[in-house]
């Protein structure tokens, strides 16, 4: 089968992705093989390709927003049938036994595995998944529009929970790409006031089209004090900006897996009055199930840009340079 791999991370314009021929994988116990129809392009894939997120091994296949159909079952696999359409997400496995898994916080597992980082992902003709970590997908969504939900949507939903905005409260969103535009839709349906602060005219236009309450530049102060905020942009310099925008007791949740260095914080201006700064680490399967149910209920729809799988490297470069709004999706 054909697949894209990362051997030696490098700036995206230097071509760190390489298309190769690999043997088609056979599912092991409890696994299913998925014939890939679509795979979303996530910023985490870019961090992997460029080395901000060091590959766990040479030749790993990126991609963790995978939609496809089951075409082979491993021993003991019984949750899905041949031909079922399923989604393969970022969280690929946990040990199920550590202190975090035992208390229901499997996103903090001490020995997790991740699709497209530990295990080969969806920038390929096929991939494997532990059937207990795959998702059934809403029938109302086609493959292209379902794929960004599997990471961008789920992690954005967890970030929204972590931001702890009270009912009817005020949410700030910093950066407005594949994850943020899905999170904004959930927040609006939940009755929150949503203020988007981002650079790039395409992103601002998309935010306005979704009906948010205000759109401004990332360096500007939000038009009203925020009860909570989410930082999607991987820009540490925006942390003090967002903290200053919080009302007393507000929380800033940093949604990315990688962030540039945060400048020194001024305690009185940015943390006092019980403002909180917290990270968001992966997600639980419960987060994913809750989000997909809400996405179906509210009619959440990803804004997508389609690329053939043969142009995966171009899609990542376009993401790096902000050449599209919403989410890119690769098609086989």
**pLDDT tens figures, 193-236:** 999 999 888 899 999 999 999 999 998 899 999 999 999 999 99
Of the pLDDT bands very low, low, confident and very high (cuts 50, 70, 90), residue 325 is confident
Closest C-alpha to 71, from 42, 109, 31: 31
Assess whether 140 and 194 both reside in one domain: no
Mean pLDDT to the nearest integer, 53-82: 96
DSSP label at residue 272: T
Residues 272 and 286 both lie in one domain: no
Question: What pLDDT, in 10s, does the model give residues 153-173?
Answer: 999 999 999 999 999 999 999
Percent of the chain with pLDDT over 70: 100
How far is it, in rounded angstroms, from Cα 115 to Cα 307?
A: 21
Of 298, 158, 305, nearest in space to 232 by CA: 158
Q: CATH no. for residue 286?
A: 3.90.180.10
* SS3 assignment, position 268: helix
Query: How many domains does the chain fold into?
Result: 2
Task: Flag whether pLDDT at 308 surpasses 90.
Answer: yes
Which residue, of 235, 261, 279, is where some domain finishes?
A: 279
Question: CB 120: neighbour CB atoms within 10 A?
Answer: 22
* Residue pLDDT, tens place only, 95-144: 999 999 999 999 999 999 999 999 999 999 999 999 999 999 988 889 99
- Same-domain pairing of 169 and 143: no
Q: Are residues 65 and 160 in the same domain?
A: no
- Which of 279, 295, 315 marks a domain boundary? 279
Please, are residues 62 and 4 in contact by the beta-carbon 8 Å criterion?
yes
pLDDT for residue 140: 87
| Residues 142 and 291 occupy one common structural domain | yes
Residue 197 makes CB contacts below 8 A (sequence gap 6+) with 172, 173, 174, 215, 216, 217, 218, 219, 220, 222
Residues paired with residue 91 on neighbouring β-strands, in sequence order: 114
Residues whose CB is less than 8 angstroms from the CB of residue 286 and which lie 6 or more positions away in sequence, other chains included: 104
Residue-range definition of the domain harbouring residue 161: 153-279
Residues 249 and 234 in one domain: yes
What pLDDT score does 212 carry? 97
Domain CATH number, residue 196: 3.40.50.720
Report the alpha-carbon distance of residue 291 to residue 146 in Å, rounded.
Answer: 12
The per-residue pLDDT for 201 is 87
Asked if residue 306 and residue 217 are part of one domain, the reply reads: no
A 10 A CB-CB count for 29 gives 9
Query: Per-residue pLDDT averaged across 21-48, rounded?
Result: 97
- The answer on 265 and 286 residing in a single domain is no
Domain match, 161 and 109 both:
no
Same domain, 144 and 6: yes
User: pTM of the full predicted structure?
Assistant: 0.95
Residue 256 phi/psi, 5-degree rounding, is -80, 160
Residue ending a domain, among 261, 279, 297, is 279
| Residues 315 and 175 both lie in one domain | no
On whether both 172 and 190 belong to a single domain, the answer is yes
């Amino acid at each position: 089968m054909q697949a894209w791999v990362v051997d030696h991370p490098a700036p995206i314009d230097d071509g760190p992705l390489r298309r190769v021929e690999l043997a088609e994988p056979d599912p092991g116990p409890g696994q299913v093989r998925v014939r890939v129809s679509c795979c979303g392009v996530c910023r985490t894939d870019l961090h992997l390709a460029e080395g901000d997120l060091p590959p766990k091994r040479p030749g790993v296949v990126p991609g963790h927003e995978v939609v496809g159909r089951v075409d082979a079952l491993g021993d003991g696999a019984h949750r899905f049938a041949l031909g079922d359409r399923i989604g393969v997400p970022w969280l690929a496995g946990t040990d199920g036994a550590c202190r975090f898994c035992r208390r229901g916080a499997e996103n903090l597992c001490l020995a997790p595995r991740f699709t497209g980082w530990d295990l080969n992902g969806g920038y390929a003709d096929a991939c494997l998944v532990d059937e207990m970590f795959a998702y059934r997908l809403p029938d109302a969504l086609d493959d292209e529009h379902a794929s960004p939900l599997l990471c961008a949507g789920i992690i954005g939903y967890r970030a929204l929970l972590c931001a702890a905005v009270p009912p009817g409260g005020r949410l700030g969103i910093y950066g407005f790409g594949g994850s943020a535009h899905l999170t904004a839709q959930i927040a609006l349906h939940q009755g929150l006031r949503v203020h988007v602060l981002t650079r790039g005219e395409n992103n601002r236009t998309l935010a306005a089209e979704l009906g948010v309450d205000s759109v401004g530049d990332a360096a500007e102060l939000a038009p009203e004090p925020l009860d909570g905020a989410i930082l999607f942009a991987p820009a540490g310099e925006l942390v003090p900006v967002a903290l200053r925008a919080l009302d007393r007791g507000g929380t800033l949740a940093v949604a990315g897996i990688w962030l540039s260095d945060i400048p020194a914080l001024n305690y009185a201006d940015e943390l006092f009055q019980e403002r909180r700064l917290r990270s968001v680490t992966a997600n639980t399967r419960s987060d994913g199930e809750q989000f997909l149910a809400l996405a179906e209920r509210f009619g959440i729809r990803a804004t997508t840009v389609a690329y053939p799988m043969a142009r995966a490297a171009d899609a990542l470069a376009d993401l790096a340079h902000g050449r599209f709004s919403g989410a890119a999706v690769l098609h086989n």
